[in-house]
Amino acid sequence: MGLVVVGAAVFAIVAHAVPPITNEPASPPITDEPASPPTGTTTGAWPPPRPRLAPYLSTLNLWGGGILQPGALVASDPLSSTAASIKSELARVGINYALYQSFQMAAMSDRIQGDAVISAYSFEMLGSLSLFHLDALGGTDAWIAAEFDGGQGLGIDWTTQSPDTNIGAMTATDYVWWADDIFISQLSWAQSFLDGRLVVIAGVVDQTNYFDTNAYANSGFGQLQNRAFVESQVLPDPAGTLGFNIQWQPVDCFYLLVGASANRYDGSEAFNSDLSPRDLSALAEIGFVVPDVAGLGPGTYRIQPFVVSIDGDMGGGVGFNFQQQLGAKSPLGLFGRFGIGTETTAASNGAGAVAQASGGLALLSPFADKGPFSAANNDYAAIAFKWTRAPSSPFNIHDDEFALEATYAMQLTPTAVLQPDLQLVWDPASSPRDFAVVFQLSINLRW
């Protein structure tokens, strides 16, 4: 039975829960993108066209689209074709979505609890329903944005076991291990104004869909899996609570995000979460999208101030996030995140660390141009290192936790990726041991 579970874990998920950032190096065209609705005066058309947004804002909001990635080891298969056909038909009635699924297996050394080998299934679904387009107000579009997450342990109770809890680490080594059967991370009204230069979102909001994104390291579904490389553990960016998000991109090279959400979270009471100033996280992101940095190619640089209130106690901090291509035509990129906060901000919904620094190198489509593996033009390879300062806790033994991760994602079929992943963890925060090794193998599906 264990071999069956491990075998299932060899087949799990694909790329990137958030679409590639505006200045990501060009990737192969997606071949099954539904035809765009007619342009021009579209007031009253049904379904309305997908919102026309400023370049960077479109990467944050236009979920879904084509899923058939070229260059796979198996060029086509019935499952991928069926998934693409379903998406195309739903797009005709204004429904667009991206469904990410993962079958994961993890093997750990130097545990403080649990089994040496564990497996799980998890999913994330991002979707939108187009509501209307008006040519008035400088051009405005409205849509419903939703996100559902969940999964199940395979032969284990995944609310009590995960790779990080089993080794005593404070930073998740596999940041698609939700430990919930299903929950609503987002269900909100979204509307654009000024011909797509301004977007306002309100309702139950997952702020991680908009803040702290990065083209080279942004999702555990097919990229680096340690949470420190998916998002900052310092930034208070809640999910599943009432809040709002405002996005403004007046010119292509600059954007501003402002958001606030309730800190209290109970998955069964998301719509009743209290937006009181006594329990609130507010954050901003100032971004500079540079087409070419000193001849290296495109780069994006982000400054992220934030403030948190928990039971009336205030705290604040700042984060930084950057991505930089290393060569005008190079698939190699450099990325990093840094954040510093307080004990108060570390206790907020979406955070967990007093300070953190992470960064590394990533290869997007590393064999796209030449060589014996030139067909594998949608693969991903990366190596990265992180440091995390833990908050004060009677359960913490080490104040500073470190980890090194190396991963490779291989496109098996147009919608499936095989990903082996190795992590070395030094001084896990709540472990008396000084070192642990985690090997993870996943099959990622993008439908």
Whether the per-residue pLDDT at 268 is higher than 80: the answer is no
The H-or-E segment that residue 62 falls in is none
Whether the per-residue pLDDT at 37 is higher than 70: the answer is no
Q: Please, are residues 383 and 217 in contact by the beta-carbon 8 Å criterion? A: no
The domain ranges of the chain are 2-446
Looking at residue 370, its pLDDT comes to 57
CA atoms of 296 and 292, how far apart (whole Å): 6
Radius of gyration of the chain, Cα coordinates, nearest whole angstrom: 21
Of the chain, the percentage scoring pLDDT greater than 90 comes to: 63
Phi, psi dihedral angles at 167 (to 5 degrees)? -105, 0
Return the structure tokens found at 167: 């080794």
Q: Please, are residues 148 and 183 in contact by the beta-carbon 8 Å criterion? A: yes
**Among 86-90, 136-140, 355-359, the least confident range:** 136-140
Whether the per-residue pLDDT at 45 is higher than 70: the answer is no
Whether the per-residue pLDDT at 2 is higher than 50: the answer is no
**Among 10-19, 190-199, 235-244, the least confident range:** 10-19
Per DSSP, 375 falls in state: T
* pLDDT single digits (tens) 375-431: 556 789 999 999 999 998 888 899 999 999 999 999 899 999 999 999 999 999 999
Please list, in sequence order, all residues whose beta carbon lies within 8 angstroms of the beta carbon of residue 372, skipping any fewer than 6 positions away: none
Looking at residue 256, its pLDDT comes to 99
Please list, in sequence order, all residues whose beta carbon lies within 8 angstroms of the beta carbon of residue 139, skipping any fewer than 6 positions away: 52, 133, 192, 193, 194, 195, 196
Max mean pLDDT range (2-6, 42-46, 67-71, 343-347):
343-347
Class of the domain covering 2-446: mainly beta
Per DSSP, 169 falls in state: -
Q: Where does the pLDDT of residue 15 fall: very low under 50, low under 70, confident under 90, or very high at 90 and above?
A: very low
CA atoms of 309 and 304, how far apart (whole Å): 17
Q: Where are the alpha helices (DSSP H) in 15-149?
A: 55-61, 78-91
Q: Please, are residues 413 and 74 in contact by the beta-carbon 8 Å criterion? A: yes
Looking at residue 273, its pLDDT comes to 57
Contacts 24+ apart (CB under 8 A), 290-298: 290/23, 290/253, 291/23, 291/253, 292/328, 293/324, 295/328, 296/324, 296/325, 296/326, 296/327, 296/328, 297/25, 297/324, 297/325, 297/326, 297/327, 297/328, 297/329, 297/330, 298/23, 298/24, 298/25, 298/325
CA atoms of 427 and 436, how far apart (whole Å): 8
Q: Please, are residues 410 and 419 in contact by the beta-carbon 8 Å criterion? A: yes
Looking at residue 178, its pLDDT comes to 73
CA atoms of 42 and 40, how far apart (whole Å): 6
DSSP 232-287: -SSS----SEEEEEEEEEEETTEEEEEEEEES---GGGGGG----TTEEEEEEEEE
User: Residue 148: which of 189, 187, 179, 176 has the closest Cα?
Assistant: 187
Looking at residue 272, its pLDDT comes to 53
Looking at residue 283, its pLDDT comes to 96
Question: Cβ of 189: how many Cβ atoms within 10 Å?
Answer: 14
